Structure 1
Amino acid sequence: MTNDGDNFDDSWDPIWQTKTSIDNDGWNAEIKIPLSQLRFSQKEEQRWGLQVVRYLFRESENSMWQHIPSNISGWTSHYGEIEGIDHIKPQRQVEIAPFAVGKFDKYEKVVGNPYATGKEFGYNVGVDGKIGITNNMILDFTINPDFGQVEADPSEVNLSAFESFFSEKRPFFIEGKNITNYQITPGGNPWSSDNLFYSRRIGRKPHGEPELDDNEYADVPENTKILGAFKLTGKTNDGWSIGIIENIANKEIAEIDIEGEKHDEIVEPYTNYLIGRVQKDINKGNTIIGGMFTTTNRKLEDTNLDYLNSSAITGGVDFKQYFWKKKYYVTAMFVTSKINGSTEAILDQQTSSRRYFQRPDADYLSVDSSLTTLVGHGGNISFGKQTNSGFRFAFNTTWRSPGLELNDVGYMRQANTIFQYLWAGYSITKPFSIFRRININMNQWSGWDFGSVNLFNGANINTWFQFKNLWSVSGGYNIEFENISNTILRGGPSMKVPGNQNYWFEIETNYTKKVRFNASVSENKGNENYEYYNGYYLSATYQPVDNISFSLNPYFSTYKADLQYIDEFTYNGEARYVFGK
């Protein structure tokens, strides 16, 4: 699945069969996909867009049924068409899959802890299903789902004040996410993860954590149980793409043992999540309009969870216009949010790491302990040229107002920001001399807060060269000038941070060979020696057959930082901040 080549998502995995052979005429492939796996209209005669691609690995070569020149933009908009498909009827898909799961965990026993006996038994039963409302509209549902077999997240040590972002791996949320996705800022930057819908909120670890004294123990659920959820995705007859997700998460209770006496404490309230998304292509796909809304409602029964928002609403509208055979584009996106809660909850939002309204040097911000509502807005505007080769560029401005809050069922790293970047690149896809392909890119970026303070400025140049023997080299240089951080003291005043510069270089041998190597080096130097990093990486791979490979990946790095926040304390009535190395 792809947004006309802007991005690709291969997580959709329908039922299909294939068989290949090699004869005197060459390589042949036959692929069968049941009609039940496809969505199409009830017209007597069908016309379908189609593209077939064969990737020849040993030559790093693509062969296409419908040729798409490298000097134009887009992908699906240039597919070929097959006509004359008739006498077929769309089938309404029905799949019901009940399940039962048992588990046994064995671990080291903790003496005195009645909840760490060294072994645990557990079970779970539920049902998953899929129903075709129409051939173009599918209803997925799940009751008491089990995600125990889903790949675990990578381990991470996060020393910052900001929340880590993890990708979704649960099939229920992956299928159809191209419709429910609402990424606010494109590109690889600190704001590109911001989204109105971050499905990892659903079924998350409970918010509450019981406060325990010595000789007190607690049994806290690892995740919030999803009582039931449904997802409706598809396309209407008049061309509207629709995605609706409704979810009810269970109330979670921790059992606390105090010298043999047990009592319960709510660590997560009943919560309802509702997500809705619509989008439509008009003007032969040159204009795209859409919108999205989300709601979160919590049933707060215990005062120990008053720091949570009782309800949250977010919404957005988006627009994209292509020009001149889709080589140029303009996009605009606007989002807004409103959260409600107790004075404790809204005070917690004002002083969180996403805002720090309490900063003494932010005269345009103030903490209001009487508020029970917080409202904000954000958005993104961009203009650019997109082609598969030649000159390309993108100019982008994105912002998050101080009051914007998306983290009830979305993701937002930081509010109170205005971010601008310019990217320009040149790509050569026609082989010449010793080169097979060349990419050259330049980037510039700047940031401000809503107090008009210029926080940071930087620039970058990077290149990638692929040779005709399929070896490649790449490298780049990055510079950031002295910046002003309004978060490094975690609610304290802004602080100047020296700039830094870094470089990297990488070389890779022919990746189609049975034996291949990759080596890279990178170094980052902070001005005034406030930080230093270097890293060396080597990879050696031996692949005797297609489905077996052996790799050795040694890696060495050093990192030194003099500005790692530790704590804040008061001395003679004044705030003091402790940093560690």
Structure 2
Amino acid sequence: MLRKLFVLVAIVIPLALFSQTNPKTFTVKYIDDIIKVDGILDESAWETSESARDFHQYFPSDTTLAGQQTDIKMMYDNTTLYVGIRMETEGDDYIIPSLQRDYRAGGNDNISLMFDTFNDGTNAFLFGMNPYGVRREALISNGGSDNSGFTTSWDVKWQGEAKIYDGYYVCEIAIPLTSFKFKQGETKWRFNSYRFDMQTNETSTWMKIPQNQGIFNLAFMGDMVFEKPLGKSRTPMALIPYVNGILAKDYEKNEDLSTIGFGGDAKISIGNGMNLDVTLNPDFSNVEVDNFVTNLTRFEVSLPERRQFFIDNNDLFGSFGNGRDANPFFSRRIGIAEDKDGETIENGIIGGIRLSGKLNKNWRLGLLNIQTEEDEINEIPSNNNTVLALQKKMFSRSNLSFIFVNRQTFGEYDFVEEIDRYNRVVGLDYNLASPNNTWTGKFFYHKAFAHDIGDKDDSGGMDLRYNSRYFNFGVRGNFVGEDFRSDLGFIRREDIVAARPFAELNFWPKKGKLNTHGFRFSPNFIWRPTLDYQNTDYTIFSQWEGQFKTQERIAVRMFNRYTYLTETFDPTGTDDGVELPANAGYHYTSYETSFQSDRRKVFSFSLQPGYGDFYNGKRYVFEGDMSLRLQPTVFISMGVIYNSIKLPEPYESEDILLLSPRINITFNKSIFWSTLIQYGNQLDNLGFNSRLQWRFAPLSDLFLVYNDNYFVNNFMPRSRSINLKLTYWLNI
């Protein structure tokens, strides 16, 4: 009955939609002149170009024009979009943490430009630059509704230079039109820009955005009108070959893992809106190591995708379902597998293709097919992995999406059970976003198929949210059937029905040091259908949080929890430890506070201590980080997570510590050195990752990576490798 209710609500719920009025507009001039990209706007064409000006303040207030104004001019020819930006400042005391590309924008001086080339309010290209001419680019998806739709792993070729003057700085940019996707003959793109000015502690945007909305939300954009229609895209084919030599040894198994590999990717443009990515013998070795995590739960932890092949248009494939409980496609599943002992190991990829992008103004298509290698020694079959996604725009910013996921082995393997020979999932998602982003939501239903899978093989849910300046609320819930299975997805747990409503009340003081503060109440209940809908888990979350005008943040939180264990469990993860018994319930309450200092400072930090009940015992937790900026060359940071768990005898008590010191050195805009040390006694691992990167040509890199891992208790080596990798981006 609950499943039918979810689907019914998704179809018939009436929503009030509001529209944005009076968008700004400016004309992008067509030119035949030659523009030299040097940070000096001395070409005569700049003098006659229209401007995107009159920036609005976003922080600390959103009711006035910006104190430090920004003027953006654009021109274009048959191949290139030129952007000239003049930014007023109080002085030249800029905050520039690093010279490395794809920097984080918050807490330093920079400007970002967002281009919605299909005018759909859903996807956009972002290009950014700081006063030293350091560049970044990103893809924005899902309407820019949250950080999950902001992908900085995307790379593309473009030019940009900056120059500092007395009282202002200038950025001059040239972006090949081939770096965008757009409709042939288009005359208008939606556009917005946001800027951080740290000397006056001001954040500003060209289109006015209320502070209760995210600064890169695509609901708030003006228009850039081209003087002549855009022509046909002439995106060249890009070949990205690599060679990778690895000297490696696994000391636990006493195996030499040294190897040399060759392969590469190809990027082929199809029309003005589609990309075809081809990969052959891809190298998915980690030149950037994953962060360790402390996991005190009974469930798997999701880690972000870092592999370039999966990045472009990733939202087409990876944003289905509920990312917390039931995401039918999680790309990190491809390239790893469980061996015969149940351990997770790397599974080689033979090759694959990925077709993705816009078919026209209203339709998007994604098709992914990857073949993995067989490993009979470890009892891993060769699998074909296919994902098909189709998205139809509805109304102004909403869409209806279909997904089909198939994992299948075609070989005859004695070690593969019939139920594991294939797994398929089909589903529909409706993603709601009103024109001004006051209402957002998701409604989805997915069904799994496998041999003798059982009849409780579906998953569904709804997430409807209202966002205003003073009051926000959400009606959220989902279910995952006992037999629902997605081998290429992230399924945290099956056999649940969950309800997760929330309500927020926010205040915006006109006086005092606080810029905003508010309360959040968010209960989370989970029932188990196979246990006669017994309530096995709940968390009642209560919080007060405040943000100061000087950018510090402070919060106080309370957690009222109940957990009914259906299986034995040791929350400390101690090897052979005495586990808490099954079929027992635990009520426990805990508290925590947090403080985040001003990230503009040379030295900044965050603190998050907590204490309270934990199952049948007590838990003290401390999380924090601190960073030192010796700009623009050196950035040093230290992260710490400490858990002291004390359970009564005979159950386990443990002090779990995770330390993560990191040092980043940027010698210039082309040579970077990063070293990360991670000590985690829960994982019994001390890891060293040191990476030297030389960007010798645009998007072409030479990496020298040293990895070393040791057991914590006896400091004996676990594994060690030296990795020399060369990639080269070649346009044909």
Normalized against structure 1, the TM-score is what? 0.78
1:414 to 2:493 alignment: yes
Q: How far does the alpha carbon of each residue in 1:345-384 deviate from its partner, in whole angstroms, 9 at most, with x for none?
A: xxxxxxxxxxxxxxxxxxxxxxxxxx47666111112322
Structure 2 residue aligned with 1:444: 523
Q: Distance in 1 between matches of 2:295 and 2:464?
A: 35
Structure 1 residue aligned with 2:503: 424
Partner SS state of residue 299, structure 1? coil
1:518 partner letter: S
Give the 5 Å matches for 1:373-412. 376-387=457-468, 389-406=469-486, 408-412=487-491
Give the 5 Å matches for 1:243-322. 243-254=366-377, 267-285=379-397, 287-306=398-417, 309-322=420-433
Structure 2 residue aligned with 1:542: 628
2:467 partner letter: Q
Q: Give, in angstroms, the shift of residue 487 of structure 1.
A: 3.7
Match of 1:242 among 339, 356, 365: 365
1:441 partner letter: R
Judged with a 3 Å threshold, the aligned counterparts in structure 2 of structure 1 residues 501 and 235 are, in CA distance, closer, same or farther, namely: same
1:521 to 2:601 alignment: no
Match of 1:116 among 250, 254, 271: 254
Structure 2 residue aligned with 1:531: 617
1:531 partner letter: G
Q: How far does the alpha carbon of each residue in 1:149-186 deviate from its partner, in whole angstroms, 9 at most, with x for none?
A: 44233445768664443321111112221111234226
Partner SS state of residue 241, structure 1? strand
Match of 1:70 among 211, 230, 238: 211
* Identity rate, percent: 19
Q: Distance in 2 between matches of 1:70 and 1:36?
A: 34
Q: Give, in angstroms, the shift of residue 448 of structure 1.
A: 0.9
Structure 1 residue aligned with 2:76: none
Q: Distance in 2 between matches of 1:195 and 1:289?
A: 16
Structure 2 residue aligned with 1:2: 141
Q: Distance in 2 between matches of 1:563 and 1:176?
A: 52
Q: Distance in 1 between matches of 2:425 and 2:213?
A: 37
Judged with a 3 Å threshold, the aligned counterparts in structure 2 of structure 1 residues 441 and 399 are, in CA distance, closer, same or farther, namely: same
Q: Distance in 2 between matches of 1:325 and 1:51?
A: 14
Structure 2 residue aligned with 1:93: 236
1:79 to 2:221 alignment: yes
Q: Distance in 2 between matches of 1:332 and 1:27?
A: 46
Alpha carbons 2:220, 2:436 under 8 Å: kept: no
Alpha carbons 2:396, 2:435 under 8 Å: kept: no
Structure 2 residue aligned with 1:30: 172
Q: Distance in 2 between matches of 1:524 and 1:120?
A: 46
Structure 2 residue aligned with 1:456: 537
Structure 1 residue aligned with 2:161: 19
Partner SS state of residue 175, structure 1? coil
Partner SS state of residue 427, structure 2? strand
Alpha carbons 1:183, 1:193 under 8 Å: kept: no
Q: Give, in angstroms, the shift of residue 334 of structure 1.
A: 0.5
Q: Give, in angstroms, the shift of residue 48 of structure 1.
A: 0.7
1:239 partner letter: N
Q: Give, in angstroms, the shift of residue 494 of structure 1.
A: 6.0
Task: List alignment gaps of at least 5 residues for structure 1.
Answer: 187-191, 211-219, 255-265, 341-370, 567-581
Alpha carbons 1:221, 1:252 under 8 Å: kept: no
Partner SS state of residue 403, structure 1? coil
Q: Give, in angstroms, the shift of residue 273 of structure 1.
A: 0.8
Alpha carbons 2:396, 2:434 under 8 Å: kept: no
Judged with a 3 Å threshold, the aligned counterparts in structure 2 of structure 1 residues 541 and 560 are, in CA distance, closer, same or farther, namely: same
Partner SS state of residue 499, structure 1? strand
Partner SS state of residue 463, structure 1? strand
Alpha carbons 1:377, 1:404 under 8 Å: kept: yes
Q: Distance in 2 between matches of 1:395 and 1:242?
A: 30
Judged with a 3 Å threshold, the aligned counterparts in structure 2 of structure 1 residues 554 and 411 are, in CA distance, closer, same or farther, namely: closer
Structure 1 residue aligned with 2:194: 53
Judged with a 3 Å threshold, the aligned counterparts in structure 2 of structure 1 residues 107 and 233 are, in CA distance, closer, same or farther, namely: closer
1:177 to 2:308 alignment: no
Q: Give, in angstroms, the shift of residue 511 of structure 1.
A: 2.1
Q: Distance in 2 between matches of 1:546 and 1:409?
A: 42
Q: Distance in 1 between matches of 2:442 and 2:295?
A: 34
Structure 2 residue aligned with 1:475: 556
Partner SS state of residue 52, structure 1? strand
Q: Give, in angstroms, the shift of residue 478 of structure 1.
A: 1.1
Structure 1 residue aligned with 2:350: 227
1:96 partner letter: L
Q: How far does the alpha carbon of each residue in 1:194-244 deviate from its partner, in whole angstroms, 9 at most, with x for none?
A: 31101122111353349xxxxxxxxx9952111111111101124211111
Q: Give, in angstroms, the shift of residue 247 of structure 1.
A: 0.8
Task: List alignment gaps of at least 5 residues for structure 2.
Answer: 1-139, 571-579, 653-732
Alpha carbons 2:201, 2:550 under 8 Å: kept: no
Q: Distance in 2 between matches of 1:107 and 1:322?
A: 50
Q: Distance in 1 between matches of 2:640 and 2:425?
A: 46
Partner SS state of residue 593, structure 2? strand
Alpha carbons 2:212, 2:467 under 8 Å: kept: no
Partner SS state of residue 498, structure 1? strand
Give the 5 Å matches for 1:106-185. 106=249, 116=254, 119-155=256-292, 162-185=299-322
Q: Give, in angstroms, the shift of residue 70 of structure 1.
A: 3.1
Q: How far does the alpha carbon of each residue in 1:481-533 deviate from its partner, in whole angstroms, 9 at most, with x for none?
A: 4x43334479x996232211111112233221113343331113136xx1211
Q: Distance in 2 between matches of 1:499 and 1:308?
A: 39
Partner SS state of residue 130, structure 1? strand
Aligned residues: 497
Alpha carbons 1:147, 1:170 under 8 Å: kept: yes
Q: Distance in 1 between matches of 2:550 and 2:609?
A: 23
Alpha carbons 2:187, 2:229 under 8 Å: kept: no
Q: Give, in angstroms, the shift of residue 562 of structure 1.
A: 5.3
Partner SS state of residue 208, structure 1? coil
1:495 to 2:633 alignment: no
Q: Distance in 1 between matches of 2:305 and 2:410?
A: 26
1:200 partner letter: R
1:207 partner letter: D
Q: Distance in 1 between matches of 2:591 and 2:503?
A: 19
Q: Distance in 2 between matches of 1:372 and 1:471?
A: 52
Q: Distance in 2 between matches of 1:396 and 1:159?
A: 25
Judged with a 3 Å threshold, the aligned counterparts in structure 2 of structure 1 residues 372 and 241 are, in CA distance, closer, same or farther, namely: closer
Q: Distance in 2 between matches of 1:448 and 1:206?
A: 30
Alpha carbons 1:126, 1:143 under 8 Å: kept: yes
Structure 1 residue aligned with 2:11: none
RMSD in angstroms over aligned alpha carbons? 3.1
